């Protein structure tokens, strides 16, 4: 008996370069830079002062202002992106009985850190000042819970926390659960809102962030002058659905998930394994899961954080997996435009892969000016390439040695 196929029937995004799928696609195509000076707080005294913030989005247009007061910023992002994805998929039109087999899995690397920080300041004044909503606003699973409650989706419901691989693991879990028959459809992806004083200070003090003050050159994956990542915020949410279930309700199919691989480095808390050994195994597992050969992949959306170690090791890993084909394939890091969305990165980058397939283009790696002898592949510098994309790979790797890889394919019925 053949394994059920899993397709994508909805997408939703909030990102530093666009707050709808169409805006996001246009920005990716144009190579738009979403990095700028931090406005969410006064960052004048910090080593790093840039971020990819969500701008021009009125949250109250999507969520009742009374409910907004009970949500951390990361939950708001997850909710708005999920609203887009669910509306596009048409799952909101399902009857209450059918909604028992619809799940929600939304990952976050940091979760409600803004709520945590605010309430700690209240605690220092008096325990009585801590909000009664502190716990349900702060915990990382609450975005998934809120989406479930909003729509009455009663299938598997939880969060994944695996640092920068969180959204990819959430999508991978959803993919597997649907194939195993645990749900007919799952709303999945990631949300993050970690552009806060304590997060910025923590990442900067561990020397993970760039101290480059120029927004136009700060996030420059694979460039020889790269010196750290730029924090971003937002959410990327997909609706995954079992193929026959989607066909049964005449849903519009946007693409297919065909492979997933997950591994651990077991090496270091923050530094990837030498030559990307864990990444190699994750990519190989995803290819084997999909029954594909290295030459079948047209495009890799790289993790590409703009840090010295990640970009060098990811390049080595790609060479190991793809051999001679690595020289002829398209690779880019959309983090050059959005910054690094931490636990939400895999969500918006999965969407970038699906849009590359849908719209027939490879997003560029912008801000690329100085070739690095250790990063010597085709990173699509500065300008998109218009070309048909049949199959795309999305790589995400997180602190703690977490590796996740997804494969998406053009829907061909």
Question: Using 50, 70 and 90 to split pLDDT, how confident is the model at 403?
Answer: very high
Distance CA 264, CA 7 (A): 27
Let me know if residue 79 belongs to a domain: yes
Same domain, 192 and 300: no
Cβ–Cβ < 8 Å for 169, 402: yes
Per-residue pLDDT at 147: 98
Question: Using 50, 70 and 90 to split pLDDT, how confident is the model at 165?
Answer: very high
Same domain, 111 and 38: yes
Same domain, 146 and 290: no
Let me know if residue 84 belongs to a domain: yes
Same domain, 122 and 249: yes
Distance CA 404, CA 188 (A): 15
CATH number of the domain to which 377 belongs = 3.40.47.10
pLDDT in tens, 246-277: 999 999 999 999 999 999 999 998 888 888 99
Let me know if residue 264 belongs to a domain: yes
Determine the structural domain holding residue 27 and report its residue range.
7-255
> What sections of 126-196 are H helices per DSSP?
134-138, 142-151, 166-179
**pLDDT over 80 at 413, yes or no:** no
pLDDT in tens, 284-310: 999 999 999 999 999 999 999 999 999
| Listed residues 255, 287, 322: the one ending a domain | 255
Say if strands 391-398 and 330-332 run parallel, antiparallel, or are unpaired.
unpaired
Neighbours of 250 (CB within 10 A): 7
Question: Which residues lie below 8 Å from residue 107, measured CB to CB, with a gap of 6+?
Answer: 140, 159, 160, 161, 162, 166, 167, 168, 169, 170, 189, 190, 191, 343, 344, 346, 347
| Listed residues 220, 238, 255: the one ending a domain | 255
Tokens standing for residue 291: 């029954």
Let me know if residue 154 belongs to a domain: yes
Express as a percent the part of the chain with pLDDT over 90: 96
Same domain, 79 and 199: yes
pLDDT in tens, 114-147: 999 999 999 999 999 999 999 999 999 999 999 9
Distance CA 186, CA 154 (A): 10
Distance CA 165, CA 288 (A): 20
Per-residue pLDDT at 89: 98
Q: What is the average per-residue pLDDT within 67-72?
A: 96
Tokens standing for residue 299: 């495009």
**pLDDT over 60 at 1, yes or no:** no
Per-residue pLDDT at 192: 98
**What beta strand segments (E) does 229-327 contain?**
234-242, 255-264, 299-301
Same domain, 249 and 267: no
Cβ–Cβ < 8 Å for 75, 140: no
Same domain, 92 and 132: yes
Question: Which residues lie below 8 Å from residue 87, measured CB to CB, with a gap of 6+?
Answer: 10
Same domain, 240 and 299: no
| Listed residues 255, 275, 291: the one ending a domain | 255
Q: Tally the domains of the chain.
A: 2
Let me know if residue 177 belongs to a domain: yes
Neighbours of 162 (CB within 10 A): 27
DSSP assignments along 214-253, one per residue: -TTTS--TT-TT---B-BB-EEEEEEEEEHHHHHHTTPPP
Let me know if residue 2 belongs to a domain: no
Same domain, 174 and 319: no
Same domain, 266 and 251: no
- Catalytic positions, written as ranges: 164, 303, 340
Let me know if residue 1 belongs to a domain: no
Same domain, 246 and 285: no
Kindly report the pTM of this predicted structure. 0.97
Question: Which residues lie below 8 Å from residue 244, measured CB to CB, with a gap of 6+?
Answer: 4
Cβ–Cβ < 8 Å for 107, 161: yes
Same domain, 267 and 248: no
Distance CA 257, CA 11 (A): 13
Tokens standing for residue 165: 């691989």
Let me know if residue 379 belongs to a domain: yes
The shares of helix, strand and coil residues in the chain, as percent rounded to the nearest 5, are: 40, 20, 40
């Amino acid at each position: 008996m053949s394994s059920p196929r899993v397709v994508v029937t909805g997408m939703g995004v909030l990102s530093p370069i666009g707050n709808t799928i169409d805006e996001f696609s246009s920005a990716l195509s144009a190579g738009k830079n979403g990095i700028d000076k931090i406005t969410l707080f006064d960052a004048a005294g910090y080593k790093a002062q840039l971020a990819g913030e969500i701008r021009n989005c009125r949250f109250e247009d999507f969520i009742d202002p009374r409910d907004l007061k009970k949500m951390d910023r990361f939950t708001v992002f997850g909710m708005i992106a999920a609203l887009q994805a669910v509306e596009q998929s048409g799952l909101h039109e399902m009857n209450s009985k059918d909604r028992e087999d619809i799940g929600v899995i939304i990952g976050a690397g940091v979760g409600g850190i803004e709520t945590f920080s605010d309430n700690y300041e209240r605690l220092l004044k008096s325990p009585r000042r801590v909000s009664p909503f502190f716990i349900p606003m702060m915990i990382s699973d609450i975005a998934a819970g809120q989406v479930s409650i909003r729509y009455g989706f009663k299938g598997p419901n939880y969060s994944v926390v695996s640092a920068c691989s969180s959204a990819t693991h959430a999508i991978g879990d959803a993919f597997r659960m649907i194939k195993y028959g645990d749900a007919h459809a799952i709303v999945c992806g990631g949300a993050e809102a970690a552009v806060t004083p304590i997060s910025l200070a923590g990442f900067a003090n561990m020397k993970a962030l760039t101290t480059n003050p120029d927004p136009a050159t700060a996030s420059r994956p694979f460039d020889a002058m790269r010196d750290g990542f730029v924090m971003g915020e937002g959410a990327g949410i997909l609706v995954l659905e079992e193929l026959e279930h989607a066909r049964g309700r005449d849903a519009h199919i946007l693409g297919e998930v065909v492979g997933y691989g997950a591994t651990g480095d077991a090496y270091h808390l923050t530094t990837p394994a030498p030559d990307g050994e864990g990444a190699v195994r994750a990519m190989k597992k995803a290819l084997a899961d999909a029954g594909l050969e290295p030459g079948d992949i047209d495009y890799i959306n790289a993790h590409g954080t703009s840090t010295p170690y990640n970009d060098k090791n990811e390049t080595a890993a790609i060479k190991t997996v793809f051999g001679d084909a690595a020289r002829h394939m398209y690779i880019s890091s959309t983090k050059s435009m959005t910054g690094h969305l931490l636990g939400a990165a895999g969500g918006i980058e999965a969407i970038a892969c699906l849009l590359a397939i849908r719209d027939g283009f490879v997003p560029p790696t912008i801000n690329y000016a100085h070739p690095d002898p250790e990063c010597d592949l085709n990173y699509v510098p500065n300008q998109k390439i218009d070309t048909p994309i049949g199959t795309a790979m999305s790589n995400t790797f997180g602190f703690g040695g977490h590796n996740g890889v997804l494969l998406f394919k053009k829907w061909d019925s």
